[in-house]
Amino acid sequence: MLDRLSLRIRVFLFFAALGLGVVVAISMGFGLGYRRLAAPEALSGFVQAWVVAGFVALLLVAWVWFLFDANVAKPIDILSGALRARAHSDVTSDMDVAIARYLGDLAPAATAAARRLTETRSALAESVMRETQRLSQEKARLETLLSDVPVGVLLVSGDHTLAFYNTQAVDLMAGGVAPGLDRRLFDYLRDGPVRHAHDRLIATGDPDAATDLLCTTTTGARVLAARMRLTPGGQGAAPGYVLTLRDVTADLSAHARREALLTEVFDRMRRPAANLSTLMAVVPPGEALPEAMERALRQELGALSQAVTELAGRHDEGRIEGGGLTQTRALDLADGLKARLEAEGVALQSTAAEVLLRANGFEIISLLDGLALHLRREIGAEDLSLRIDEEDSSAMIRLCWAGAPLGIGALERWLEEPLDRLVPEVSCRSVLASHATEIWPEPVAGGRQSLCLPIRQARRATARPKPVIRSVVYDFDLLSRARTDKVAETPLEALTYVVFDTETTGLLPQQGDEIVQIAAVRIVNGRRVDGEVFDTQVNPRRSIPLSSTEVHGITEAMVADAPEVDEVLRRFHKFAEGAVLIAHNAPFDMQFLRRREAELGLAFDHPVLDTVLLSAVIYGQHETHSLDALTHRLGITIPEADRHTAIGDTVATADAFLKLMPMLKGRELTTFGAVLTEVRKHGRLLKDLN
């Protein structure tokens, strides 16, 4: 039982027993002397002497205990904590040997051992780094490849939890919010089609089999086309699977619009056609039409012509939207045509507006290149120039020249020729058709001639948006990790954690103080997942005192447009679902969450760990356990700009916990229940919230 007590408590008990033994020895000595003297009148003197001797003896023992505790037991405790930090958490800073100056060679020996351990670890790390550099490069290439594939890719365990996802999958399933490793797939996709496909593949018994399915997201009802293939392994459990996703909602919508357009075409043309047939049936051949009938006939012909024109325009717009045309910069198109013509010995002057054209740049350049060469050869065009002008939501391309005008017949003949000799089946006219446009000659100012080619869709080029960060998030160990419903029996590294921190208007939630910022990160399988972050400011619906702003830097203007606390806490509850919550001084942060449980209809009943108490387990209660002190001991640097911000303190707390975890395991505290038992011994520091 004594081995469960800390060193300092055991030393205290030793000296307490020593003091008790001294008092008992003095009592026996005085009792024996009194009996041999056999003088009752001397009893009071013996009692007084016993009291003085006992008090002095106890005082002497207490003084020696205090010196021993301050100069031996406490330094040993601090030294052991420092050694564990260097043994388990890669802390490389020098130890403070002055605290153990009365321990002889112990502190220098411990320092030498720690330094040697650091040197050995560095040499080993360098060797491993050299051996694994090639694998790291291949891994980086694979991540880049998978992050940029045009479909969403998921790797899911046999119990339908996520072990891998790329950015495209995030956009498809969760609307840009990272879904999270070790989270249930069915939080984002409806489970029926996925479960049925999984069961089908298992039933086939063919490891190479694949199946297609159609599934929908749980929010937004986005329709996704998916393909599932089982992954090898499983060790008796249900096998995991790879799921590739493609959004077909837009395809289905475009198809529905085309079908609706065809239906409208038939409906709008059927009535005028029927009326015209009736009119023509009642008119005898060779006779002039009555005036009323002629008027009706003209009216029906006008309606039919208008319907055909309108429906043709809508059809052209649909072809542009669904034809795979991309955004092409007008300047790039002009430069490409200039380069093509200069390679053939033809000079070209060009000016282009800052617009983006919805067009196939290769086809347009090839078309204009062929027309320019025809103009040079057949009508002797000189002084060629190109202008691309913005016209509302469209653009006009003008190929101009000095010389004779171009006839329509010649232009029609040129348009029938192949666009490129390498692809003879594609004609110049097909380029106009694919862009739903036309081309015609017309004169321009200064006696020059031009060919006009309108591009129906164009927009002004703006500043380039920030690049979309493509990434993949994965942990393949999740595919084979054993799971248990009993949190107390779960190993520390097998739990999922959400480390969080809040900034508030003050320290008294009972008197109306509210959250102004909350941030959190997820730790899965013993590592912090960079892509899974919760960070938002909160509108507290009350004023923020200047004294609080001086601490965290958040003003009322900064949170005026931020979401309110009810919405933020619902989102945070979803983010932390199924995880152990970790905070530094957790009772303070948790009271801001739990006071809202009744009105939100939610319960923040997660298991909770507090890094203050974990620090006390490792370093003892005599140390300072502020976040600054803890991170300093663990060699973690908090940038000054991030201190007292929710996300900065959250990341620091998460990194501190990751360094404390192997130190806890080094003390054989390997499960959540074992850590909780040890934490509760330090209840005088903070209340355990579990």
- DSSP labels for 335-347? HHHHHHHHHTT--
Distance from C-alpha of 200 to C-alpha of 220, rounded to nearest angstrom: 27
In this structure, what DSSP letter does residue 465 have? P
Q: Are 525 and 494 in contact (CB under 8 A)?
A: yes
What is the DSSP pairing of strand 608-610 with strand 580-583?
parallel
Helix residue ranges per DSSP H, 41-105: 43-68, 74-88
The H or E element containing residue 29 is helix 7-37
For 616, counting Cβ atoms within 10 Å of its Cβ (0-12 exposed, 13-18 middle, 19+ buried), the class is: buried
CA angle 554, 560, 564 (to 5 degrees): 95
Q: Which of 160, 606, 644, 682 is catalytic?
A: 644
| 642/652 Cα distance (integer angstroms) | 9
**Under a CB-based contact definition with an 8 Å cutoff, are residues 227 and 210 in contact?**
yes
Say whether 324 sits in a helix, a strand or coil: coil
For 371-406, the three-class secondary structure string (H helix, E strand, C coil) is: HHHHHHHHCCCEEEEEEEEEECCEEEEEEEEECCCC
Distance CA 627, CA 633 (A): 10
Give the Cα separation of 67 and 238 in Å (integer).
Answer: 62
Using CA atoms, how far apart are residues 26 and 560, in angstroms rounded to an integer?
76
Q: Which residues contact 583 (CB under 8 A, 6 or more apart)?
A: 499, 500, 501, 589, 590, 608, 610, 611, 653
* Identity of residue 128: V
- Cβ pair 683, 555 in contact under 8 A: no
The stretches of 576-645 forming alpha helices (DSSP H) are: 586-594, 597-600, 611-619, 627-633
Contact criterion met (CB below 8 Å) for 331 and 352: yes
Q: Which two tokens stand for residue 198?
A: 């999984």
Q: Collect all residues with Cβ–Cβ distance below 8 Å to 645 and sequence separation of at least 6.
A: 503, 517, 519, 552, 553
Q: What is the DSSP letter of 297?
A: H
User: What SS3 class is residue 613?
Assistant: helix
Angle at 569 (CA atoms; ends 563, 572), nearest 5 degrees: 105
Neighbour count for residue 109 (Cβ, 10 Å): 11
N- to C-terminal Cα distance for the chain?
Answer: 25
For the question of residue 644 being annotated catalytic, the response is: yes
Dihedral angle of Cα 598, 599, 600, 605, to the nearest 10 degrees: -20
Which residues have C-beta within 8 Å of that of residue 644, sequence separation ≥ 6? 503, 551, 552, 553
Instruction: Return d(Cα 135, Cα 198) in angstroms, integer.
Output: 32
Which residues are marked as active site? 644
